[in-house]
Structures are given as C-alpha cells and as structure tokens.
C-alpha cells in the first residue's frame, strides 16, 4: 500500500540523505546502503559524537569527545544536554536551569540565549554545531558533500521543540527532510513495520532521560498511542551513585577528600563509568584510579552493583505502567518490546523489562545506535534507496466537525503526520443564534451519522447577531501523543471553549479498516447526498430571506404578475427541496433569485437612501 506521494524536491536528482539521532547525551549519524542501515564512523572510528560543545576563547568551537574533556577544564565555556532547552521559553526551563552550570544571557526572556565565554548562543545554534560535526563525519566518510538529513526527536516533543530541531538542521547547512519520532525510528530499525499490525513498546533509557512509548502499527503505519517517562532518570544517576561511593572509599583509604577537586572528581567519574560499562558484560569489574602517585582499586561484583541500582531501575516501572494505562492496554497485549539507549545494556534493566512485559525484548541491535539506524531507514526511503512504503506517525482516520445539514467538514485528514493542527472559521445559520454546538467526529464518510462521534460541546452565550455574522474559529491540534484538542472561539468577543479527546481510544484495527473501506464503497452515494444537503442549507437560507423580504414595503411596489412569479418560484423550489436531485434545487434557486432581483434592488435603494439621510443628519 503506498500512502504518500514523496516530493523529492530535487527535480529527480538523487542525493544522499543521512539519518541523525540528535540525543541529549550522545548523537550519531547513519546511512542506508544495499545491505541495510549502517552507522557513520567519526574520526577515530567511533560513530558516537557526545552532544557537548565548548567555545574556546580563540578559534573554532570544539564538539564531541574533545569537548567532554573541557567540561572540567573550561566549564564556563562548555555546554551539554542542550536538547533539554530546545524550543522552550525561559520560563519553561527554570527547573532545568537549576541543574545547569551555565546561564541564560540577560535580556533574553522569550528566546533562550546562553552566554558562553562572552558570546551568545541559542539552543538550536548549539545543536547545530553537533549536527555540523556529524555532517562533517559523513562528508569525510563519503568524500562528497552531504546536505540532506532525517533527524529524530522524542515522541513527546511539541511543535516548538520540533521547529527548533529543524532550525538547528538549517543552521548546520542541512535540509531536514523529515523529523521522525525516536521510538518510531527504533521500531523501523528492527523492521517491525514488516509485521503490518501489532503493538510495540519502546523502552529508552539513555544518559539523562527515560522514555517509554507505545506504538500501534496499522498496515505498516506507526501511531504513537501513548508516551511517558522521566526527564531526569538515566545512566548519569547510576554514575552519580557510584561516584559518591567511590569518593567515600577513597577518602577512607587515602584519608583525602577529593570531592572539592573537580578535576580529580572527573577522573573518578570516568573510572566508575568504565566499571559500569564493563559490568554489562562481565560478572565483576574494578574501579581503578591512579592519582598523584597513589593507586585505588575496588572490585565491584555485578550482584553488589545490581543491589545499588535496583531503586533507579524500579523508577522506570511506574511510567511504563502509566503509559500502558493511557494506551488502554495490558502488558500481555504488547507484541514486541524494543530496547533503546546505552543504559539498556545493563542486564538488570533488561530483566526488569522482561518481567514487566512478560516478553523477550529486542536487543540484536546496538541500543545506542538503534535510533540513528532507524532514521537512516527513513532517510533511505526518502532518497529512493528503499523501494518501500513510507512509514510515519500518522492519524489513521480524518477528524472534523459537523456543519449545517449534517455534513462533515474535515479539518485534519487521514494519514496526516502528527503533531498536526488546522483551523477553519465557521458562522451561524440562524438569526440571533446564541449557542453553537461543536460536534467533533472521526471518519471518512461525508455524513455525520456515518462517522464516529468523539465529542460534543456548546460554545455558549454568543451575542445574538444576524445569521452569517459571527465568526467562530474552530482549531484542531493533535499532539504527538495523538491527543486531539478542539477549541472553538468567537473571534468577536474572544470567548472560547475547548475539549481534549483521544481519537484512537477504543478503536480496533478492524474498525479503522472497515471505516476506510466503507468510505470507498460509499463514496459516490455520499458525495451526492452531501451535495443535496449542502444545497438544501443554501435553499433554506434563500427561502428565509425571501420570506422576510415579502414583509418589506418594497414588495408591494412589485406588479401582481411579478409577485405571482415569486410565489411560483418559491413553490417550485420547495418541491425540488424535498426531492433527491441537487441539480434541480440549484436550478430552482437560481430562478427564485432572478424573480426576486427587482425586489432586492428596490430594498437596496431604500436602504441606501435611509443611510444617506442618516449621514446628512449626523453631518
């Protein structure tokens, strides 16, 4: 099944597109070749570029591993975890900032500006430096310019955060062909789209963040059912725990407290991280430090390590349960579990996931490469390397509202990538209407009665105005979690009302499929009925207007014959109205319009004269 026309935007010229995982702790790029997705090695062969940037006093910015070293030697000019600040306002990040050593430049309150060694940077500007490094690695590797990329973002990123990520790409000289949700990328890397239908849980424990996402696949399209997590939980917490213990051990063994010496602390931190990594594959590891002629060795068996980190691992479980609940699923309804993030190498973490979902998680791919590999799969599709369907996070069914005549006005169409938003302005059909009923529906059919009703609410207490005068803006916003927010606003008074609904709630794959198929088979019938309904609304309006005009003095100025003609046209329109032929209604409407032309002119003249008189008096 092909879902979208892909616009290559290059007039057919093929260009390489790389996939990039722009992570909080680490970033890396990957590409698609004939054998499948492969990571792009950096200068020393390592594909990972730590998301750390240092701005030296003189010379070019330093990015990646060399910048990590400068976290200690030049902390004021070195920035990490900038992803936490992407697309956010100064007020959103007050809590985050308490944990950061760097500060926001004064005078910037809407847009975050970081001051690094006297220079100002925005979060996208910093992220761009990381992206530029990956772009450079790719160019060195391929020996040709690379300027197209697919970049991944957390599923919960909102519009602003996504936009900021795109901006970062642009600043780095990359055309961002698509943003893909990280869990979707992970599922793509494992080729889970091939299974067509099913539910996938993606458990992502990285350096500083934990994300759990539940994706639903229908016909190879991923929909994010729910996401949850903890923005401050990850490998860093384990490092801090081990660091504290190591510093205490060193203090008691050497009689020296190193905790005030930041460069020594950094050495100890590296030693414990090294041991942590070894423990993922070995039953025991040694925390080793040689400093100032002294030597420290502490054996750390895996079972002791596991006891220490159990509370941290357990902290991932509550978000998982909440996520399942939001998705309306039980653990045994999950078909596949995918592990993402360097910290899922830890055997205890894998065991916890296994216990919770009662399933063997996918671990075949490197957990810190899997997101980049999935981005490369999407990149391959976009560059035409993978002759396959396009896989996106999309709305499975169209969303719209009921309008006059019981017809649906669609705002967000089926297969729109999410998050998505749309707005349209509607008006009233009845004189002095005080309430407007907003009826939100889902489905592909033209008539409201053939769709699924999602929500109804009233926009109340409008100022009574003539029909057609009020302007009611209806705005649909579907976020990355698939939650639909509907807001109706009276543009004249600003009065608004909104609701949140979960369109996918309680909907099975079979139902979605049936709804789509039905819309195809009933398309012609539906279209005819819609036309009839719409023309009837129009006819109602005209009949009402003529009825009113007949009460006007001007009506008596018409000849008997003219008046008889109006009445005949009215009668014929009413007859056509109750028939099934919308063409005939149109025809009769035109005839009535013509028969009342003179009347309209007479009324208009009176109105203009009245208005002119009014001006004179005022003047």
Other CB atoms closer than 10 Å to residue 571's CB: what's the count?
Answer: 12
- How far CA 126 is from CA of 52, 77, 81, in Å, comes to 9, 12, 10
Instruction: Say if residues 374 and 388 touch (Cβ distance below 8 Å).
Output: no
Q: Is 399 helix (H, G, I), strand (E, B) or coil?
A: strand
Degrees (nearest 5) of the Cα angle 248, 251, 252? Answer: 90
* 22 neighbors 162 (Cβ within 8 angstroms): no
Count, residues near ligand ADP per rule CB under 6 A? 21
Q: Which does 380 bind (CB under 5 to 8 A by kind): Mg ion, ligand ADP, none?
A: none
Residue identified by tokens 């979690």 is 481
Q: Tell me which of 124, 154, 183, 342 binds ligand ADP, using CB under 6 A.
A: 342
Report in angstroms how near the CB of residue 158 gets to Mg ion at its nearest: 18
Give least dist CB 464 to Mg ion, A. 56
Which member of 29, 61, 183, 235 binds ligand ADP (CB under 6 A)? 235
Using CB under 6 A as the binding rule, whether residue 227 contacts ligand ADP is answered as no
Q: Which of 274, 250, 270 is nearest to 260 (CA)?
A: 250
Query: Judged by CB under 5 A, which stretch of 169-177, 205-213, 377-385, 560-568 contacts Mg ion?
Result: 205-213
Q: How far is residue 177's CA from residue 161's CA, in Å, rounded to a whole number?
A: 16
Task: In whole angstroms, give the CA distance from residue 484 to residue 502.
Answer: 6
- Our CB check for Mg ion shows the closer of 23 and 123 to be 23
**CB-wise, 122 or 343, nearer to ligand ADP?**
343
508 by Cβ neighbours in 10 Å (0-12 / 13-18 / 19+) ranks as: exposed
Q: CB–CB of 436/473 below 8 Å?
A: no
How deeply is 273 buried, as exposed, middle or buried, from its count of CB atoms within 10 A (0-12, 13-18, 19+)?
A: middle
Toward Mg ion, which CB reaches closer, 206 or 235?
206
Q: Does 405 bind ligand ADP (CB under 6 A)?
A: no
If one counts every other C-beta atom within 10 angstroms of the C-beta of residue 395, the result is 22
Question: Binder to ligand ADP among 17, 19, 26, 381 (CB under 6 A)?
Answer: 26
Q: Is 209 in the site for ligand ADP (CB under 6 A)?
A: yes
Q: Which residues are tagged catalytic?
A: 21, 83, 182, 204
Q: Is 23 in the site for Mg ion (CB under 5 A)?
A: yes
- The interface partner of residue 344, options being Mg ion, ligand ADP, none and the CB cut-off 5 to 8 Å by kind, is none
Site stretch for Mg ion (CB under 5 A), options 199-207, 264-272, 433-441, 502-510 = 199-207
Please report how close the Cβ of residue 338 comes to Mg ion at its closest, in angstroms.
12
Q: Map residues 95-134 to x or -, x wherever contact with ligand ADP holds by CB under 6 A.
A: ----------------------------------------
Side-by-side strand order, sheet with 336-340: 221-230, 210-218, 198-205, 336-340
Contact stretch for ligand ADP (CB under 6 A) within 155-163, 270-278, 290-298, 326-334 = 270-278
CA distance 166 to 158: 12
Q: What are phi and psi of 334, to 5 degrees?
A: -85, 125
Size of the site for Mg ion (CB under 5 A): 2
Cis peptide preceding 266, ω within 30 of 0: no
| Cβ neighbours, 10 Å, residue 480 | 22
Residue nearer to ligand ADP on the CB measure, 27 or 378: 27
Among 276, 410, 445, 489, binds ligand ADP (CB under 6 A): 276
Q: Smallest Cα–Cα separation from 544: which of 425, 432, 384, 383?
A: 432
Residue 26 contact among Mg ion, ligand ADP, none, beta carbon within 5 to 8 Å by kind:
ligand ADP
Contact with ligand ADP (CB under 6 A) among 223, 336, 368, 446 = 368
Binding of Mg ion by 206 (CB under 5 A): yes
Q: Residues interacting with ligand ADP, by CB under 6 A?
A: 23-26, 206-209, 234-236, 273, 276-277, 280, 341-343, 345-346, 368
Q: Residues interacting with Mg ion, by CB under 5 A?
A: 23, 206
């Amino acid at each position: 099944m092909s879902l979208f026309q892909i616009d290559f935007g290059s007039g057919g010229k093929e260009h390489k597109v790389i996939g990039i995982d722009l992570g909080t702790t680490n970033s890396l790029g990957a590409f698609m070749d004939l054998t499948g997705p492969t990571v792009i090695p950096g200068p020393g062969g390592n594909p990972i570029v730590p998301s750390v940037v240092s701005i030296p006093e003189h010379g070019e910015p330093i990015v990646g591993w060399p910048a990590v070293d400068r976290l200690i030697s030049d902390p004021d000019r070195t920035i990490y975890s900038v992803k936490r600040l992407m697309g956010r306002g100064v007020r959103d990040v007050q809590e985050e900032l308490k944990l950061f050593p760097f500060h926001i430049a004064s005078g910037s309150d809407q847009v975050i500006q970081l001051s690094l060694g006297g220079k100002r940077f925005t979060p996208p500007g910093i992220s761009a430096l990381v992206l530029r490094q990956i772009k450079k690695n790719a160019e060195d590797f391929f020996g040709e310019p690379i300027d197209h990329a697919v970049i991944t973002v957390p599923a919960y990123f909102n519009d602003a955060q996504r936009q900021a990520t795109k901006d970062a790409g642009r600043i780095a000289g990359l055309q961002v062909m698509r943003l893909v949700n990280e869990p979707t990328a992970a599922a793509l890397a494992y080729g889970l789209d091939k299974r067509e239908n099913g539910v996938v849980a993606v458990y992502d424990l990285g350096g500083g963040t934990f994300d759990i996402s539940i994706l639903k696949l229908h016909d190879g399209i991923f929909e994010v059912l729910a996401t949850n997590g903890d923005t401050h939980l990850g490998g860093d917490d384990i490092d801090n725990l081990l660091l504290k213990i190591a510093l205490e051990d060193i203090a008691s063994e050497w009689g020296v407290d190193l905790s005030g010496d930041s460069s020594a602390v950094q050495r100890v931190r590296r030693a414990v991280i090294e041991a942590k990594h070894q423990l993922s594959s070995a039953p025991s590891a040694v925390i080793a430090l040689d400093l100032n002629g002294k030597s420290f060795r502490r054996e750390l068996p895996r079972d002791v390590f596991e006891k220490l980190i159990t509370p941290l691992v357990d902290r991932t479980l509550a978000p998982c349960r909440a996520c399942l609940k939001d998705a309306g699923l039980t653990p045994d309804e999950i078909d596949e579990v995918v592990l993402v993030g360097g910290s899922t190498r830890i055997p205890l973490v894998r065991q916890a996931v296994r216990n919770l979902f009662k399933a063997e998680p996918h671990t075949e791919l490197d957990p810190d490469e899997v997101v980049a590999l999935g981005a490369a799969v999407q990149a391959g599709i976009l560059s035409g390397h993978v002759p396959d369907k396009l896989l996106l996070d999309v709305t499975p069914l169209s969303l719209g509202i009921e309008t006059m005549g019981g017809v649906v006005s669609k705002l967000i169409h089926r297969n729109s990538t999410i998050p998505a938003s749309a707005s349209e302005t509607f008006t009233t059909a009845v004189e002095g209407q005080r309430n407007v009923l907003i009826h939100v529906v889902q489905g592909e059919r033209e008539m409201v009665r053939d769709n699924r009703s999602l929500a109804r609410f009233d926009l109340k207490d409008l100022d009574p105005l003539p029909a057609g005068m009020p302007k009611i803006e209806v705005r649909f916003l579907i976020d990355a979690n698939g939650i639909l927010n509907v807001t109706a606003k009276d543009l004249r008074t600003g009065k608004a009302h909104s609701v949140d609904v979960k369109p996918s709630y309680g909907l099975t794959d079979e139902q979605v499929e049936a709804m789509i198929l039905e819309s195809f088979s009933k398309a012609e019938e539906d279209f005819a009925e819609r036309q009839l309904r719409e023309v009837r609304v129009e006819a109602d309006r005209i009949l009402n207007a003529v009825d009113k005009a007949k009460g006007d003095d001007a009506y008596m100025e018409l000849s008997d014959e003219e008046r008889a003609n109006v009445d005949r046209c009215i009668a014929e329109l009413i007859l056509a109205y109750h028939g099934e032929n919308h063409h005939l209604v149109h025809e009769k409407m035109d005839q009535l319009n013509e028969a009342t032309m003179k009347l309209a002119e007479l009324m208009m003249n009176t109105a203009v004269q009245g208005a002119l008189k009014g001006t004179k008096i005022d003047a």
